[in-house]
Structure 1
Amino acid sequence: MIRFISLQDTLALRSLVLRNGLAEQECINPQDLLPETFHLGYFDENNKLVCVLTCQKERHPKLPHEAYRLRGMATHPEARRKGYAKQLMLAAMEHIKNQLHVPYFWFNAREVAYPFYESLGFEYMSDEFDIPGIGPHKEMFKLL
């Protein structure tokens, strides 16, 4: 089941999956606290939170209209390859398009996730670049 969650709910998975066990409070982005930012979570059949994502309103200079940016998407290692992340992304895109009426969704994709985002129809809008301590990324976007 997919539902809106709090910032605090996202932090354990962000720490585990994205930040190599960094203290949870160190996994907070300044934009997490803005009123237009939202967090979604996927709960498995045992009501365990297994996948999270955050979306923040942030225009990108390469896009012609306002946009939302994906941040902090993380799936528990034991819950991968079950379609949870795909369902969560589709729910986020539907909310952004139909409820918030924002036409673009973008993010910095980790190299390991390029095929996943390509399968959802996202396109590249940058060459690969390195984020120190995290690794190779490319900017990706999709017109909703």
Structure 2
Amino acid sequence: MIRFISAEQTLPLRSLVLRNGFPEAECMFDHDTLPTTFHLGYYNEEIELTCILTCMKENHGKLPKDAYRLRGMATHPDHRRKGYAAELLNACISHLQNQLGIAYLWFNARTIAFPFYEALGFEFMSDEFDIPGIGPHREMFKYIG
């Protein structure tokens, strides 16, 4: 089941999966509480939050229209490769298209996630770069309008 969740509900998975166990308070994003930002969570049959994402309004200079940025997508290690992340991301795209009228979704993807995003139709728009303390990434986007 997919639900809108609060920024605070994303923090345990962000800490575990994306920030190597950093304190949850250090896992907040600057835009987490803005009214244009939303957070989605995937709950498995056991009613456990197993996958999360955050989506915030943020234009990108390489894209021609208003865009949203995907941040903090994470799946609990015990629940990977079950299709939860793809289902959650597709729900996010549907919300952006149908409720917000957004044409582009972009993000910085970790190298390990390139195949996942490419399989969902996302394209690269940068060379690889390093985010200190986190690792190599590339910018990716998809036209969803």
**Cross-structure match for 1:41:** 41
**Cross-structure match for 1:121:** 121
Alignment RMSD: 0.4
Partners of 1:97 and 1:143 lie apart in 2 by 10
**Cross-structure match for 2:22:** 22
The alignment partner of 1:32 has SS state of coil
**Cross-structure match for 1:11:** 11
What number of residue pairs does the alignment pair up?
144
CA shift digits 1:67-114 (9 cap, x unpaired): 000000010000000000000000000000110001000000000000
TM-score normalised per structure 1? 0.99
| Consecutive unaligned residues in structure 1, runs of 5 or more | none
The one-letter amino acid paired with 1:95 is H
**Cross-structure match for 1:76:** 76
Partners of 1:30 and 1:60 lie apart in 2 by 17
CA drift of 1:33 comes to 1.3
The alignment partner of 2:32 has SS state of helix
Moved over 4 A (4+): none
The one-letter amino acid paired with 1:123 is E
The one-letter amino acid paired with 2:129 is F
2:101 pairs with 1:101: yes
CA shift digits 1:42-88 (9 cap, x unpaired): 00000000000000000000000000000000100000000000000
The one-letter amino acid paired with 2:80 is R
**Cross-structure match for 1:134:** 134
Partners of 1:30 and 1:132 lie apart in 2 by 18
Percent of aligned positions that are identical: 67
Partners of 1:23 and 1:130 lie apart in 2 by 22
| Consecutive unaligned residues in structure 2, runs of 5 or more | none
The one-letter amino acid paired with 1:8 is E
The one-letter amino acid paired with 1:70 is L
The one-letter amino acid paired with 2:142 is K
